[in-house]
Amino acid sequence: MQATRILAIRHGETAWNVATRIQGQLDVPLNATGEWQAAQLAQALSAQEKIDAIYTSDLLRAYATAHAIGQAVKLPLHTHLGLRERGFGDFEAKTFAEIATALPADSLRWRKRDPEWAPPGGGESLVAMRERVLSTVNHLASGHLGGNIVLVAHGGVMDILYRAATRLDLQAPRTWDLSNTAVNRLLWTTEGLSLVGWADKSHIDGHSQDETTA
């Protein structure tokens, strides 16, 4: 059975990541650390991987990360709305602490990972997000059987992919890493996703932003 190799990558760091402020589908740029992470990632992928296509969320933090990869491997970017972060409605632009204070009942349902609950103000439920993300990945991967594609997206998307590949429930407690620019390796076939490797951060672990690179 032919498979598509997927490198699924969360965008580089933003100031809102550091501040634990919910970004959702708002456009937030990479901070200096995120730009450095993206550059390190791009350098590593260009040296180690043969990539056939790059797909990215259209949100700036993901697109900027994908752009660094595209420049390094000399491939165009293809944006797809299905790779966007979860829509968080009224939670967006608030910190975790602000949400707990302003919307305590909704905050509790969020922390309990209620799969049918959607954030107030037009947010997206986990069930709806899972359907969106997996439908998108199925569509993109099916067009590259035998190939190797990059998907640049968001923490929530990475979480959905890990659960799908390991057959974990949406409410299972999260014990896996969702680090910025970590490389997550998956295989896709018509039977679904399987996990090859998770949270490879070798391109940034042990490196300093002050180091000069060729």
C-alpha 175/C-alpha 183 separation (Å) is: 17
Q: pLDDT band for position 210 (50/70/90)?
A: low
Q: What is the pTM of this model?
A: 0.95
pLDDT at residue 211 in the model: 52
| Tally of CB atoms within 10 A around 38 | 27
Q: Is 85 a catalytic residue?
A: yes
C-alpha 136/C-alpha 139 separation (Å) is: 5
Backbone φ, ψ for residue 41 (5° rounding):
-60, -45
- Choose the catalytic residue: 78, 80, 85, 191: 85
Q: 60-118 pLDDT, tens per residue? A: 999 999 999 999 999 999 999 999 999 999 999 999 999 999 999 999 999 999 999 99
> What would be the CATH architecture of the domain defined by 4-200?
3-Layer(aba) Sandwich (3.40)
Which of the 8 DSSP states describes residue 14?
Answer: B
Q: Is 35 a catalytic residue?
A: no
- Choose the catalytic residue: 11, 144, 154, 203: 11
Q: Hey, what are 173's tokens?
A: 């407690």
- The domains of the chain are located at 4-200
Which of the 8 DSSP states describes residue 86?
Answer: P
Please provide the average confidence, as pLDDT, over all residues in the chain: 96
